[in-house]
Amino acid sequence: MVLLNNWNLRKNNTILHVKNPATNRVEAQYTVTDLGAVLGAAGAIGGRHRSKNDVQDFQRSSFVRKVADGTVQFDYDIRPKKLGLFTIFYPPYFFGQRRANKTMHKVPVEHAVWIGAQLSQLSDEQLREGFRAAGYNRSTTESYIRVLRSRIKQLIRLRESEVAVRLRR
């Protein structure tokens, strides 16, 4: 979700526990049901600017803030701020956003590198097809793909960043 700058995580993501008939084992399957608040600037109610489906904002946004102590801190802050603090009167939203924000600041480097490796297997043509199916024009599609490729490369390079930090100690 951070890769796409999704700032609306409420009830959009679920982990299903499904029995695999071939192995007879229960597997966790991560599902995403709503991608409406993506591909723009991630922000919080009352906080920094947030947008969706805005290629210029997506291009301007940064992705990885830093790597420290084996975890990745993404440039991702969706905690309610200023007047957004009034969302405390709707606790599921308020605490859900805070929990999601905290989670995205403690991602193990190994997990981020793994998802980067998985995503790097997607071809540009596969990415283009996804944007085409969603009705994006060619220019916008190419802009989004450039940013996504850059972010995927950042994820893969995280291992090198962590090793370099350890060597300096």
Report the distance separating Cα 151 and Cα 155, nearest Å: 6
pTM to 2 decimals? 0.76
Q: Is the pLDDT of residue 150 over 80?
A: yes
Domain of residue 88, residue span: 55-168
Total structural domains in the chain? 1
Nearest to 45 by CA among 90, 106, 105: 90
Report the distance separating Cα 87 and Cα 93, nearest Å: 7
Instruction: Check residue 84 and report its DSSP letter.
Output: G
| Residue 141 counted as domain residue | yes
Contact between residue 67 and residue 165 where contact means Cβ atoms under 8 Å apart: yes
| Residue 9 counted as domain residue | no
Q: Is the pLDDT of residue 149 over 60?
A: yes
| Residue 145 counted as domain residue | yes
Counting every residue written for the chain, the total comes to 169
**Percentage of residues of the chain with pLDDT beyond 90:** 38
Q: Is the pLDDT of residue 125 over 90?
A: yes
| Residue 13 counted as domain residue | no
| Residue 104 counted as domain residue | yes
| Residue 8 counted as domain residue | no
Nearest to 98 by CA among 114, 117, 76: 76
pLDDT tens profile 53-104: 899 988 998 888 888 888 888 887 765 666 666 667 767 766 777 677 677 7
Contact between residue 106 and residue 71 where contact means Cβ atoms under 8 Å apart: yes
Q: What pLDDT score does 87 carry?
A: 66
| Residue 14 counted as domain residue | no
Helix (H, G, I), strand (E, B) or coil at 27: strand
Contact between residue 61 and residue 48 where contact means Cβ atoms under 8 Å apart: no
Confidence label for 167 from pLDDT (cuts 50, 70 and 90): very low
The pLDDT of 119-130, averaged and rounded, is 96
| Residue 29 counted as domain residue | no
